Amino acid sequence: MFKKLAKYVKEYKKATILTPVFVVLEVVMEVIIPLLMARIIDVGIQNGDVHYILEMGVLLIIAAILSLTFGMLSGRYAAKASAGYAKNLRKAMFYKIQDYAFENIDKFSTSSLITRMTTDVTNVQMAFQMIIRILVRGPIMMIFALLMVLSISTQISIIFFVAIPVLGVILFFIATKAHPNFEKVFKKYDKLNNVVQENVSAIRVVKSYVREDFEEAKFKEINDDVYKSFKKAEKIVAFNSPAMQTTIYTCILLISWIGSQLIVGGTMQTGQLSSIITYAWQILASLMMLSMVFVMVIMAQSSAERILEVIEEKPSIQNKENPVTEVKNGAISFKNVSFVYSDEKDVNKFALRDINLDIKEGETIGIIGGTGSSKSTLVSLIPRLYDVSKGSVTVGGVDVRDYDMHALRDAVAMVLQKNVLFSGTIAENLRWGKKNADLEELEEACKLAQADGFIKEFPSKYDTVLDQGGTNVSGGQKQRICIARAILKKPKILILDDSTSAVDTKTDAFIRKAFREKIPNTTKIIIAQRISSIEDADKIIVLDQGKINGIGTSEELLKTNAIYREVYESQMKGGSEDGAE
């Protein structure tokens, strides 16, 4: 796992390599300092040699300055390497998500992807910084300090050779118990983020229904759940600190006791005992650092696994070798098409079953059906947002699976059921359809979508800034901007998925008239709940429970199709739509 993630260090390899180099140099200087202090005490002060004391003092200052300098450099490069590494991980995840098919996105919730790109990446970043700095510093410091203690007193060094394995066993126990709990914590973080995201995005609905208390209770429940899970994991990790403290102070007591006996016996000098105590603190501090890294790596391991899941997820829809790069026309054909969202190919769970349908280039097709009849699913198969489970869908006489996805989706413009506008100006949002479109092209598209009129009423016109999600324009205005954005692509196929539901019937009629007159060669598919929006279509498809229940013009369906006739009569009471609205 760590090997797979290591390749994302990329351009920060130099900083990653320099960090441990400077750490080693810092450690060397820190190990030399107690040795120089021992010399000052045992030689300089013992013999009253002022010149020797000054000479060693100068070396001591130089060693301290070098240690500080190397420490600062290692810290600087560690921060640069870890921040860059985190940047590359986020970039890799974000770019991978852009390649996902809808099926892959369905697998990971939005809140989970956000958690993985923020909290999980931060955990891995902190662990990476500790690994390249502290994980190098700890063992090197421990080895050098142990060698120095061993050179001074073999008896005292035995204390450390006993203490280190004991701590190793304790850390192993903590790791095996804590890791599963941290895995559960991060999954609950996903749920917490989901609750927050849902609440913030739907805050107007929450307030209009006065459901703040309900939302607060829901948040409290998941927040307390995260707290309890984290508390359980941290309780296990908390054993690390008392274990370390007990070991450190036990070692210091044993060193002082054995060292004092050696000094009395004349086999050790005061300065040597002083340096051993300093080395003892360095060894035990190194162990403390390693335990901190250990804890952080335990947490980061769960995060790293979750990051890899996103990076290694294979898009369920990919280009074939040598794909077709040109869509000749907007003719569409469904041949024995069935589709299921899950991997379970149980015919009873198919969203679409046995769809056979031919649409000529330039035709206007209306689709109507009850909620859950899979109208949106049907049109999602055309630009290959999902792949069929059985049968085939062709556009321009070519199976959509044989097209280059960019070419296919560039030829198909969809205005989805849930309209999405981005923060920025109206012009910037429109240019999603054509990034280099000039003002004249924007105005032409907006006139077709009946949006030009209200846009020019704004003081800044096309430079009017939209809030995130387009919350500062009405639902109908938002829909018309989205339709104009789709038209700007000049697509061969235009799909409107219930995209005029917030538009009044008069404006809706103007939009349909503009489509007939201005883009006659574009195949238009209109999903609607309102009969008037599709009544003049060349063909109307009635869907019921994922099957085609009827096909024909409005007049034909009124005679032959009970579902269409029932909807028509409920909406068109006495030739009026008041009953539907």
pLDDT digits (tens, 9 = 90+) for 248-301: 778 888 888 888 888 777 777 777 777 888 877 777 777 777 777 777 787 788
How many structural domains compose the chain? 2
Flag whether 486 is in a domain: no
pLDDT digits (tens, 9 = 90+) for 508-537: 888 888 888 888 889 999 998 888 888 889
- Give me 245's structure tokens: 């403290």
**What's the pLDDT at 346?**
52
- If asked whether residues 238 and 336 sit together in one domain, one would say no
For residue 547, the surrounding DSSP H or E stretch is strand 547-552
Q: What pLDDT digit, counting tens, does each position of 17-65 carry?
A: 999 999 999 988 988 888 888 788 877 887 778 888 888 889 989 999 9
- Within 13 Å and on the Cβ side, how many CA atoms surround 231? 6
In a shared domain, residues 340 and 262: no
pLDDT at 576 over 70: no
Higher pLDDT, 347 or 72: 72
Whether 10 contacts 17, CB under 8 Å: no
Q: Are residues 374 and 240 in the same domain?
A: no
Q: Are residues 306 and 338 in the same domain?
A: no
Q: What is the pLDDT of residues 541-575, one digit of tens each?
A: 999 888 999 999 989 999 899 888 888 888 876 44
- Same domain for 260 and 216, yes or no, is yes
Lowest mean pLDDT among 196-205, 208-217, 397-406, 439-448: 196-205
325-347: pLDDT as tens digits: 889 999 999 999 999 886 555 55
| Pair 336, 287 in one domain | no
316 domain residue, yes or no? no
> 342 and 275, same structural domain?
no
Is residue 579 domain-resident?
no
Percent over 90 (pLDDT), the chain: 24
CATH code of the domain containing 504: 3.40.50.300
The pLDDT value given to residue 56: 87
Q: Is residue 306 part of a domain?
A: yes
Q: What is the pLDDT of residues 246-257, one digit of tens each?
A: 877 788 888 888
Q: Is residue 580 part of a domain?
A: no
Q: 331: which residues sit within 8 A by CB, 6+ positions away?
A: 358, 359, 360, 361, 394, 395, 396, 397, 523
Which domain CATH number covers 68?
A: 1.20.1560.10
Which pLDDT score, from 0 to 100, does residue 35 have?
81
Q: Are 518 and 342 in contact (CB under 8 A)?
A: no
Long-range contact list for 67-76, CB < 8 A, 24+ apart? 67/26, 67/29, 67/30, 67/33, 70/22, 70/23, 70/25, 70/26, 70/29, 71/22, 71/26, 73/18, 73/22, 74/18, 74/19, 74/20, 74/22, 74/23, 74/26, 74/133, 75/133
Do 338 and 306 lie in a common domain? no
Go through 334-363 and write b for each residue having 16 or more CB atoms within 10 A of its CB, e for each that does not. Answer: beebbbbeeeeeeeeebbbbebebebebbb
Statement to judge: residues 162 and 265 lie in one domain: yes
Residue 567 within any structural domain of the chain: yes
276 and 365, same structural domain?
A: no
Residue 507 lies in a domain: yes
pLDDT at 570: 84
Which pLDDT value is given to residue 344?
53
Residues 122, 216 within the same domain: yes
Residue 138 lies inside a defined structural domain of this protein: yes
Is the domain of 199 the same as that of 149?
yes
Report the DSSP beta bridge partners of residue 164: none
Q: Domain span at residue 392?
A: 332-418+492-571
